[in-house]
Amino acid sequence: MQAIRVHPAPSGSPPYTPSNPAPSTALNLDHNVPIPNPSQPQDLLIRVEATTIIRDMLTWPETYAHEYAILGSDFSGVVTEVYSPDSKFKRGDAVFGMTDVNRAATWAEYTIAKEDEVALKPTALDFVSAAAMPLSASTAYEALFEHAGIARPTVDQLQAQSALMKDQRVLITGASGALGLYLVQMAAGAGVMVVAASSSNSRNGDFLRDLGADEVVEYSMLEDQRGKFDVVIDVVGGDLLKKCWGFVKDKGVLISLESASYDFVEEHRKLGLSRDGVRAIFFVVKGSSEALRYIADAVDAGALQSFVAGTFPLEKAQEAYDIANGRYSGRGKFILSLR
């Protein structure tokens, strides 16, 4: 099969590591890579139709766990082989999902996924649009319904969200980004009062209101809303995350989803920024078939949209990675399409 693999550093150069990450030129399209075989219970062999470019993957420790790693976690595709005869899936099923980061290998024509990492693809989406969703939508799902304590609505409630009581106020920063746009949609569907913050109302205001935000603000406007939020979910980090302690109510919840802020709770405690009574959390998405099924049902009910910023063939992975890690005006994820 064909696959994009991370080639080692040139002879005589220091090896690539998270602190000395490989450049995008190390991403090479290799041919005649062995097709993996299902070898354990719950293993599914997936023919990959589309997979997602994720920012900063060349800085992840998992990328250097072994030589010639195949990157990629989000995917959509077709089940071509199952390990167990009593599998929940069958050959020919169109699925989407997210493999565990330690087994990430979806930038390839075939990959192995576990049954609890996939769900049937939303019928309303093509493979490209479906591949854009698992990581970001699952992260939003876990942030809102598992960590923030917001009650998960049924799909019927999602379709009639105006009937729900908006008795919780939720602030989402980075609301127009690839993750924020799912947080806004799912929070709005859950019936909470959603305040979406971004850098520009003129650029993002109408877009975020169309996604369900009740109020759209620029970051400079947040000082007027100190202590008003039951939940603050920050996707930006840095100085803005430090200010978020002031926006959350006593006994509220502050969640950071910005990867560089993994130790923000301890760091901010040392700086004297934290507050007793505020539950502060950083987490890494674990993913589940239950979350994916909910996401698929929400999409098919018309309550959740997918966003694709651009599509590239597999052989353009270097270019796609560079664009995804730079500044771009599109919304959503960049996708490698294999068909």
Domain assignment of residue 169, yes or no: yes
Task: Give the chain's end-to-end CA distance (angstroms, integer).
Answer: 14
How confident is the model over 104-128, as a mean pLDDT?
A: 97
In this prediction, residues 49-57 reach a mean pLDDT of 93
Same domain, 96 and 54: yes
Q: pLDDT tier at 185 (50, 70, 90 boundaries)?
A: very high
> What is the rounded distance in angstroms from the CA atom of residue 292 to the CA atom of residue 288?
6
- Regarding whether 220 and 233 lie in a shared domain, the answer is yes
Mean pLDDT to the nearest integer, 108-129: 97
Whole-angstrom distance, CA of residue 202 vs CA of residue 259? 28
Report in angstroms the alpha-carbon separations of 137 from 45, 130, 187. 23, 11, 11
Alpha helices in 64-196 (DSSP H): 127-131, 134-141, 155-159, 180-189
Q: How many domains does the chain have?
A: 2
- In angstroms, the CA 97 to CA 334 distance is 16
Tell me whether residue 292 is in a domain: no
* pLDDT (0 to 100) of residue 55: 86
Mean pLDDT, residues 33-50 taken together? 96
CA distance 302 to 256: 28
Query: Is the model's pLDDT at 166 over the cut of 80?
Result: no
What is the structure's pLDDT at 154? Answer: 86
Parent domain of 225: 137-282
62 and 173 fall within a common domain: no
Instruction: Report which of residues 156 and 127 the model is more confident about.
Output: 127
The verdict on 74 and 153 lying in the same domain is: no
User: Does 266 lie in the same domain as 148?
Assistant: yes
Question: Per-residue confidence at 163, pLDDT binned at 50, 70, 90?
Answer: very low
Q: Which residues contact 88 (CB under 8 A, 6 or more apart)?
A: 115
State the pLDDT confidence band at 259, using cuts at 50, 70 and 90.
confident
